[in-house]
Amino acid sequence: MFCVMRADLAYIQRKAKLLFASSKRPSNLPFLFLLTDSARGFSPELALSSAPKGAVVILRTFGDAELIAKITPKARIKVGATVAPQIARKYQLHGVHIPNRRLKYYKRSEPCPKLLTASAHNLHELLRAKQAGVTNILISAIFASDSKSANERPIGPIRLAKLARDFPEMNLIALGGISRKTLPHLKNTNARAVAGVSFERLAQSAFSCH
């Protein structure tokens, strides 16, 4: 299964590079983000073993430093996590991801690793992230998704494009329902990257290892 997921995720990453190549795009921003969700069977181990080179895995550990200490020394992929910046620095993580509800605790003056991201599900949360000074935003759900945090009504490509126009200083990372089928619909949205947990269960695709 790991080989199948790697093949599919590498495909998603290649297509994302073609869709989002832009002179306005930050050179250090990955085209593909993987998020963990152990409750749905997408563990840190699965994400780290499946991620293609160049992707970033965001460990949703919610401050669990012990798990970070256990997993990250073995990682071959760039890793971010939902931890405080000081923990990220201690374990030399590539990035920090801040759930939107935690942005009120974020201090701009605190040194962060190379990549800082936050989540947003609507205009109000996007404004909150902007006020906090975070510009790399995982915005969801763009398409229908089985995630519990997904909106009842997906944002969709048209509204995503409008948000990108209204917030040109933000790097919007499309999350939710991303798959080989839905990815082409992100063309001309001015999204900068894609993210996902299951990528709509790509492991069930027809790819195989050779």
In the chain, the domains with their CATH numbers are 2-21+28-204 (3.20.20.70)
Residues 16 and 184: beta-carbon distance below 8 Å: no
What's the whole-number mean pLDDT along residues 180-190?
95
d(CA 173, CA 192): 6
Instruction: Check pLDDT > 50 for residue 63.
Output: yes
pLDDT of residue 148: 64
pLDDT of residue 64: 81
197 pLDDT above the threshold of 70? yes
Asked if residue 38 has pLDDT above 90, the reply is no
Inform me whether the pLDDT recorded for 160 exceeds 70: yes
More confident residue, 207 or 118: 118
How high is the pLDDT of residue 1? 45
Measure Cα distances from 145 to 38, 98, 181, 184 in Å: 17, 21, 13, 17
Q: Which residue has the higher pLDDT, 210 or 121?
A: 121
Tokens found for residue 203: 């492991």
